[in-house]
Chains A and B, each alone.
Chain A
Amino acid sequence: MNSTVFWYVTRASGIVALVLLTATMVLGLTTTARARARNWPGFAHQELHRRISMMSMVFLAIHILTSILDTYVHIGWAAILVPFTSSYSRFWVGMGTVAVDLMAAVFVSSLLRPRMKPGTWRGIHWLAYGCWPVALAHTFGLGTDSGEPWVIALGVGCILAVGGALLWRVRVTTRRAEGLSVASESTPVGRHLVTSSAKGARREQ
């Protein structure tokens, strides 16, 4: 196979995988109870998150395969899973490997979810928070297309998307926690039959 074809495919699939990974992150961050758009069912959100993450892994697989089969630079099969063993651009390729390792951990943990404690699964799933920035760094650190304006714009777009989703998630979570603590606050029993303020508890209609 022509080395140039591999070269183009590996770059293209890498970009697509990054975009899909970003979309996965955004969907994952915006999965919260009760706060959802009227016409978009919550289960669809969840299923989309799962399917897009699978798609990103497919494109990632293409990206990895073509980058290794491309003989122009030597990367080596070990570099798929073992970081910093590639002779080409050891550090930045290694970052890519780290991202793959983290994503593999998340994937495997979801397969084994029924057998682990919920806290363990959740902890591993949070590795995704490490995976995305590392993938982003790998993309721009390798430098192949990172000078192109559209690639820069894409990168900025990804950062804004995840950053925005993260801020939104933090806001919703703190608001919900306040609501819960207000609802279950015990008011002193005594001469005054006080009504508790359960305002935060009401489901948003």
Chain B
Amino acid sequence: MSNDVSQAPPRSAVHHLLGHPIDLAGHIDAHGPLVVAMGHHDSWQRALAASLESSGLTGRGGGGFPSAAKLAMARAHGHVGTLVVNAMEGEPASDKDKVLLSRAPHLVLDGAQFLAAMCRARRIVVCIPVGRDGIAAAVEHAMRERSAARYTRVSELVLRPPDRFVAGEESALVSWIDDQRALPVFRPDKGTPLRIGKRPVLLHNAETLAHIALIARHGPEGFLARGLVEEPGTSLVTLSGAVAQPGVVEVDRGTPLWEIARRATPVEPAQALLVGGYGGNWVGPEHFDTPYASISLRTIGASAGVGVIAVLGERSCGVAETAHIARYLAGQSAGQCGPCVFGLPAIADDLALLARGQADRGLMARLTRRLGEVNGRGACRHPDGAVSLVRSALAVFGPDVAAHNRGEPCAHWRTPSSLPFPRSMAR
């Protein structure tokens, strides 16, 4: 926040991520230059730390960790070497980070600059997977605009890790930057920071940084004015499934789930919503009015996850869709931990049999046992997400599951999946 009021742009009344100018000139017009926002003294850092604290911003990459606390922990560990912008978005059903980077790259990069200055990072690295060359080009273009205008303090560059689901997991991503192995690291003590070489790393999801950029310039008031008192602000959500207008929308936290889903124009009555991503949870119609906020979702055993809401129409089979997702998740294992490498395909096998109506007598007991045994026994949360999804399917599609188990699968199990999956599933 600038100390010179005459130079500061008018405080933006509404906090929003989408709808800003894409180019640098427009961005500066709307939000003011970075240097002004940072000012000549470091008092802006105390102000930003306080703003982040009072805004209650939490991470938008799936972890939901309070951003102010994360920053404080990073500063306590000393000189952060690299600030990593996690734009990997390995979740097939999620597009929010792609959209954000294409439409508001300067917001994301500014957020990174603010944090980098606060923990004295030497460089900012934006990680975009191989295969998304359009997004990478857009970000690199923005970076060239910024360096040409001498707009930045900390150097910025784009890196292209492999396009795999687990490559976006934070320890895997940092591990890749460090020694090219995109594999999650076993971290029993989450308090110790991730490192590249000897230096600790601060890693944030792209959307979180965009929120930080706005809060840094305009204060927390805009953020606090949206959403709920207990959970303020906005979130980007990707809508997909049995809808006419899939895409990314920005919503106030606390908006009821069905109200969000309606924005994509569902084409048929919905039997369930998939909330949080493929490692998230199914939610049944009786909970469609649940507010989209961590505190409310937790009471029904769900979480906001990576900002995905997919509509499962009544002309689909919940069991079959869950089997498809489980097969996908099994194929995306990093291949390091036995329970995940063997357990997830076994669970996917059981679900495939169930979906086809070919369950043997011991299947449900076996599946339940396997879910309990696989949960929590990997180095990362990948198997946990799969377990959570399958357990929610067994609960939400209860009657359907029972029918399939009896050998009477519903009519729709052969219907092609309405959920997005990458074309090539190769490891």
Whether B327 and A186, one on each chain, are in contact in the complex, defined by CB atoms closer than 8 angstroms, is yes
Q: How large is the interface on A (under 10, 10 to 19, 20 to 34, 35 or more residues)?
A: 10 to 19
Instruction: Note all chain B residues with C-beta closer than 8 A to A161.
Output: none
Beta-carbon nearest neighbor of A182 in chain B: B345
A13 to chain B, nearest CB (A): 44
> Which of A62-70, A79-87, A146-154, A191-199 contacts its partner?
A191-199
A9 to chain B, nearest CB (A): 50
A35 to chain B, nearest CB (A): 16
Which residues between 157 and 194 of chain A lie within 8 Å of chain B, taking CB atoms? 180, 183-191, 193-194
A194-B427 contact in complex given A183-B345, A184-B345, A186-B327, C-beta closer than 8 Å: no
Q: Give which listed residue, B332, B351, B425, contacts A188 with CB less than 8 A.
A: B425
Q: Give which listed residue, B320, B324, B331, B349, contacts A195 with CB less than 8 A.
A: B349
Whether A189 and B324, one on each chain, are in contact in the complex, defined by CB atoms closer than 8 angstroms, is yes
Q: How far is the CA of A183 from the CA of B344 in the complex (A)?
A: 10
Which residues between 402 and 419 of chain B lie within 8 Å of chain A, taking CB atoms? 413-414, 416-417
Whether B342 and A198, one on each chain, are in contact in the complex, defined by CB atoms closer than 8 angstroms, is yes
A201-B342 contact in complex given A187-B327, A193-B355, A194-B352, C-beta closer than 8 Å: yes
B44 contacts A by Cβ under 8 Å: no
Q: What sequence of 0s and 1s flags, for each residue 353-376 of chain B, a beta carbon within 8 Å of any chain A beta carbon?
A: 101100000000000000000000
Q: How far is the CA of A176 from the CA of B423 in the complex (A)?
A: 29
Which residues between 42 and 66 of chain A lie within 8 Å of chain B, taking CB atoms? none
Whether B323 and A183, one on each chain, are in contact in the complex, defined by CB atoms closer than 8 angstroms, is no
B360 to chain A, nearest CB (A): 12
Whether A193 and B427, one on each chain, are in contact in the complex, defined by CB atoms closer than 8 angstroms, is no
Whether A193 and B346, one on each chain, are in contact in the complex, defined by CB atoms closer than 8 angstroms, is no
Question: By DSSP majority rule, is chain A's interface helix, strand, loop, or mixed?
Answer: loop
Whether B341 and A193, one on each chain, are in contact in the complex, defined by CB atoms closer than 8 angstroms, is no
Whether B332 and A186, one on each chain, are in contact in the complex, defined by CB atoms closer than 8 angstroms, is yes
Q: How far is the CA of A190 from the CA of B324 in the complex (A)?
A: 7
Q: How far is the CA of A198 from the CA of B342 in the complex (A)?
A: 8
- Count, chain B residues at interface, CB 8 A: 29
Whether B356 and A189, one on each chain, are in contact in the complex, defined by CB atoms closer than 8 angstroms, is no
Instruction: Note all chain B residues with C-beta closer than 8 A to A185.
Output: 331, 427
Instruction: Note all chain B residues with C-beta closer than 8 A to A194.
Output: 327, 352
A184-B425 contact in complex given A193-B327, A193-B356, C-beta closer than 8 Å: no
B366 to chain A, nearest CB (A): 13
Beta-carbon nearest neighbor of B414 in chain A: A191
Whether B416 and A191, one on each chain, are in contact in the complex, defined by CB atoms closer than 8 angstroms, is yes
Q: Give which listed residue, B328, B342, B352, B426, contacts A183 with CB less than 8 A.
A: B342
Q: How far is the CA of A180 from the CA of B336 in the complex (A)?
A: 11
Q: Give which listed residue, A186, A187, A195, A201, contacts B353 with CB less than 8 A.
A: A195
Instruction: Note all chain A residues with C-beta closer than 8 A to B335.
Output: 180, 184
Q: Give which listed residue, A186, A196, A198, contacts B427 with CB less than 8 A.
A: A186
Which residues between 242 and 265 of chain B lie within 8 Å of chain A, taking CB atoms? none
Whether A193 and B342, one on each chain, are in contact in the complex, defined by CB atoms closer than 8 angstroms, is no
B179 to chain A, nearest CB (A): 11
Whether A184 and B333, one on each chain, are in contact in the complex, defined by CB atoms closer than 8 angstroms, is yes
B274 contacts A by Cβ under 8 Å: no
Q: What sequence of 0s and 1s flags, for each residue 16-48 of chain B, a beta carbon within 8 Å of any chain A beta carbon?
A: 000000000000000000000000000000000
Whether A193 and B324, one on each chain, are in contact in the complex, defined by CB atoms closer than 8 angstroms, is yes
Which residues between 4 and 35 of chain A lie within 8 Å of chain B, taking CB atoms? none
B173 contacts A by Cβ under 8 Å: no
B421 contacts A by Cβ under 8 Å: yes
B308 to chain A, nearest CB (A): 17
Q: How far is the CA of A183 from the CA of B349 in the complex (A)?
A: 11
A184-B348 contact in complex given A189-B324, A193-B355, C-beta closer than 8 Å: no
Instruction: Note all chain B residues with C-beta closer than 8 A to A183.
Output: 341-342, 345
Instruction: Note all chain B residues with C-beta closer than 8 A to A195.
Output: 348-349, 352-353
Q: Give which listed residue, B323, B333, B425, contacts A193 with CB less than 8 A.
A: B323
Of the listed residues B332, B348, B413, the one surrounded by the most CB atoms of chain A closer than 10 A to its CB is B348
Whether B328 and A196, one on each chain, are in contact in the complex, defined by CB atoms closer than 8 angstroms, is no
Instruction: Note all chain B residues with C-beta closer than 8 A to A201.
Output: 341-342, 345
B404 to chain A, nearest CB (A): 11
Q: How far is the CA of A191 from the CA of B317 in the complex (A)?
A: 12
A187-B323 contact in complex given A193-B352, A196-B348, A196-B349, C-beta closer than 8 Å: no
A184-B427 contact in complex given A195-B349, A196-B348, C-beta closer than 8 Å: yes
Whether A196 and B355, one on each chain, are in contact in the complex, defined by CB atoms closer than 8 angstroms, is no
Instruction: Note all chain B residues with C-beta closer than 8 A to A186.
Output: 327-328, 330-332, 425-427
Q: How far is the CA of A185 from the CA of B324 in the complex (A)?
A: 15
Instruction: Note all chain B residues with C-beta closer than 8 A to A191.
Output: 414, 416
Whether B346 and A190, one on each chain, are in contact in the complex, defined by CB atoms closer than 8 angstroms, is no
Q: How far is the CA of A126 from the CA of B345 in the complex (A)?
A: 34
B163 to chain A, nearest CB (A): 14
Whether A196 and B345, one on each chain, are in contact in the complex, defined by CB atoms closer than 8 angstroms, is yes
A155 to chain B, nearest CB (A): 41
Q: How far is the CA of A185 from the CA of B332 in the complex (A)?
A: 9
Instruction: Note all chain A residues with C-beta closer than 8 A to B341.
Output: 180, 183-184, 201
Whether B416 and A190, one on each chain, are in contact in the complex, defined by CB atoms closer than 8 angstroms, is yes
Given contacts A180-B341, A198-B346, 10 further A-B contacts (CB under 8 A): A184-B341, A189-B421, A191-B414, A191-B416, A193-B351, A193-B352, A193-B355, A193-B413, A195-B348, A201-B345
Query: What are 11 residue pairs bridging A and B, where the CB atoms are less than 8 Å apart in the complex?
Result: A180-B341, A184-B331, A184-B427, A185-B427, A186-B331, A186-B426, A189-B324, A191-B414, A193-B327, A193-B352, A196-B345
Instruction: Give 10 closest A-B pairs by Cβ, nearest first.
Output: A186-B331, A193-B352, A186-B425, A195-B349, A196-B345, A201-B342, A184-B341, A189-B324, A189-B327, A195-B352
